[in-house]
Structure 1
Amino acid sequence: MKKYINPAESKTFGEKPADIQELINAALYILERFGIPLTNSARRLERMAISFLACGDIKKLSDFNNSKDLNYGYSLKTRDIISYVNKHFYENISSGSYDDIRRKDLKLLTTAEIILQSSPNSATNDSTRGYSINPTYAELVRKFGFKDWEQLVEKTLKDIEPLSLKLKREREINKVEVNLPAGGKLTLSLGEHNILQKKIIEDFLPRYGYSAEVLYIGDTSNKYLYLEKEKLIKLNFFEITHDELPDVIAYSKEKNWLYIIEAVHSSGPISEIRLLQLKKITKLCTADIVFVTAFLDRQKFRQFISSIAWETEVWIADSPDHLIHFNGDKFLGPYK
């Protein structure tokens, strides 16, 4: 049996007897075969597994063959689940944590309808609502360990899309595809900030970047999504792990210009203070620097216009062929 949780990864798991550890890993194996993605932390997986076991009245490995479900009239309320796991699985979960059972421990299982609610039409916070294993899945649980069990699961669930695939598809749908100027593609998480970053890369740089190459992009969910660290080092750029990183960095070899670009959705234009910070941390850079604040539209620009620093550029995505120069004596370019 595959070990999904290493005792060193979860103190509570490591303190449990070997037979309980085996039971939890068996539950996780079953849930994985049922299509549940096991990508959470070890402790979160442990909590999900023991909550699942409680909903089927499974206290030891031999209980799989006698697991209960809604057709048995068996269900546990969230407080009952806490009492069950504390008693049988060497837990010490506070009775006041009952809402975590619903919102965290059973969330994936109820979404996949592996666990059903005894009164699905009741209010979300109804304290009388119980949880139990779906009879379709409980029948498979009762046959766990039988010959060709995996094939039986596959056959029984062939018309049910696994939650892992549903979530993967949703993650792929909720992405922003970005085409880099030099070729290649990136995928950013969905959100207005990243939509603006896409426009910066696909609309601003081709117009004003003088064949600029993107050297850094920070995704809202991954600060170092795209990073050309060695190329930045050659430009004597500041340490890339610095907290003051902008949203997009691009370099034009033709002009020897380094573009420092802030994508503003809710905050973060290049203000006078921000400009001083950026100048300080780029003072040894061998390229001339162009500071740009980008906005999705003029309405958003108007919210921040009083904060924007002189000697910087502003680009508005819904008017991509125009720049606003906060300088006075020249057009786009670095200040010396």
Structure 2
Amino acid sequence: MDKLDIVKNLLAKIKMPNSQQSPLCCYTLLALARLKQETSWHEATNEWTRIHDIIVFTSENYSKTYAENSRETIRKQAMHHFRTAALIEDNGQATNSPNYRYRLTSEFLKVIRSLEDNSTISDDNLELKKFISEHESLSSIYASKKQIQKMPVKINNIDFTFSPGNHNKLQKAIIEEFAPRFAHNSTCLYVGDTIEKDLVNNSDILSSLGFDITLHDKMPDVVLYREDKNWLYFIEAVTSVGPMEPKRILEIENMTKNVTSGKIFVTAFLDFSTFKKFSDKLAWETEVWIADMPEHMIHLNGDKFLGPHKK
């Protein structure tokens, strides 16, 4: 097997993310180990190495040329992740120092030296098994970090998590801060997530209320239903786009033309400065809620109290 293929196989065995199994990452490891195509694996070394040295080694020995201005790309795509996964270490110098260097860790050097040409990497490779047993995989580390970053939210008394980000931060505030104040005892019929699009989608109730669910892509960010008043709240969570402007109202009206419940249109913002950016686009007969000021609402419908517009 080609050395590049064997290194890629090795990175897959230790469960590096796919983006860290790229040719750039494989060439970087070969350069750090000073392994030419004809060099035996057991001759691998872990000398201190600059990224410039990696670029030169790869060009001279594998005819793969990376420009000098790609050093930051190599640092971000390979070095940072390799260090987190304990494949390499640095010499502790400042990153902008001309003396800043990297090298393979002694543990991973043993794994490299245990490899063979023209052979697949066995799961029974003792050095590989030892390394895997002593070091958590980078994929697991990143998955744990993503899980920690997720935002817990209770929707209809069921625990969910939102992916990180301002849009979901605002949706969480709508569920936890807006609904108890202005949609008391309401049920969430729909809310999306920036990754998991239909986090909550109660299509049975939506259909029974008269929604045309074939127009699913027109659904607002959050839909709440207050049964005691037979009110529906259509809420757009706006951080950069998508307020309740006249065109958006028409789209929702078309989707809900068979709905007889009272309809309340709300645009939610994280803060007042974001609201000001969209204030001239908001449709009349709608409401505004700002998460920074959760006790208050701005009414653009002329009525004293919140409620569906009377036709």
TM-score tier by shorter-chain length is: 0.7 to 0.9
Corresponding residue for residue 88 of structure 2: 115
Query: Is the counterpart of residue 138 in structure 1 residue 115 in structure 2?
Result: no
**Could you tell me which of 140, 146, 150 is aligned with 1:171?**
146
Shift of 1:185: 1.5
Structure 1 contact 213–251 (Cα < 8 Å) conserved: yes
Query: Is the counterpart of residue 237 in structure 1 residue 200 in structure 2?
Result: no
* Residues 150-161 of structure 1 aligned to structure 2 (within 5 Å): 150-153=128-131, 157=134
1: CA distance, partners of 2:199 / 2:69 = 36
**Could you tell me which of 189, 195, 209 is aligned with 2:163?**
189
**Could you tell me which of 5, 10, 23 is aligned with 2:6?**
23
* 1:74–1:104 CA distance, 2 compared to 1 (3 A): closer
* 1:232–1:93 CA distance, 2 compared to 1 (3 A): farther
Q: Tell me, what secondary structure is at the counterpart of 1:80?
A: helix
1: CA distance, partners of 2:239 / 2:189 = 22
2: CA distance, partners of 1:268 / 1:44 = 38
Corresponding residue for residue 45 of structure 2: 68
Cα RMSD, aligned residues only: 3.7
Structure 1 contact 271–309 (Cα < 8 Å) conserved: yes
Structure 1 contact 82–93 (Cα < 8 Å) conserved: yes
1: CA distance, partners of 2:235 / 2:294 = 15
* 1:63–1:129 CA distance, 2 compared to 1 (3 A): farther
2: CA distance, partners of 1:297 / 1:75 = 44
2: CA distance, partners of 1:103 / 1:25 = 18
Corresponding residue for residue 270 of structure 1: 244
**Could you tell me which of 59, 65, 71 is aligned with 1:83?**
59
2: CA distance, partners of 1:276 / 1:198 = 26
Shift of 1:272: 2.9
2: CA distance, partners of 1:64 / 1:198 = 53
Shift of 1:327: 0.9
1: CA distance, partners of 2:206 / 2:3 = 52
1: CA distance, partners of 2:23 / 2:263 = 51
Shift of 1:109: 0.9
Between the two proteins, the alignment pairs up a number of residues equal to 301
Tell me the alpha carbon deviations over residues 95-139 of structure 1, each in whole angstroms, 9 at most, x when there is no partner. 477343333244411343523457853428x7x976542334213
Structure 2 contact 243–278 (Cα < 8 Å) conserved: yes
Query: Is the counterpart of residue 102 in structure 1 residue 75 in structure 2?
Result: yes
2: CA distance, partners of 1:165 / 1:171 = 10
Shift of 1:56: 1.6
* 1:116–1:154 CA distance, 2 compared to 1 (3 A): closer
* 1:76–1:66 CA distance, 2 compared to 1 (3 A): farther
The normalised TM-score by structure 1 is 0.71
Q: Tell me, what secondary structure is at the counterpart of 1:201?
A: helix
Structure 2 contact 162–193 (Cα < 8 Å) conserved: yes
Unmatched tracts of structure 1, length 5 or more = 1-17
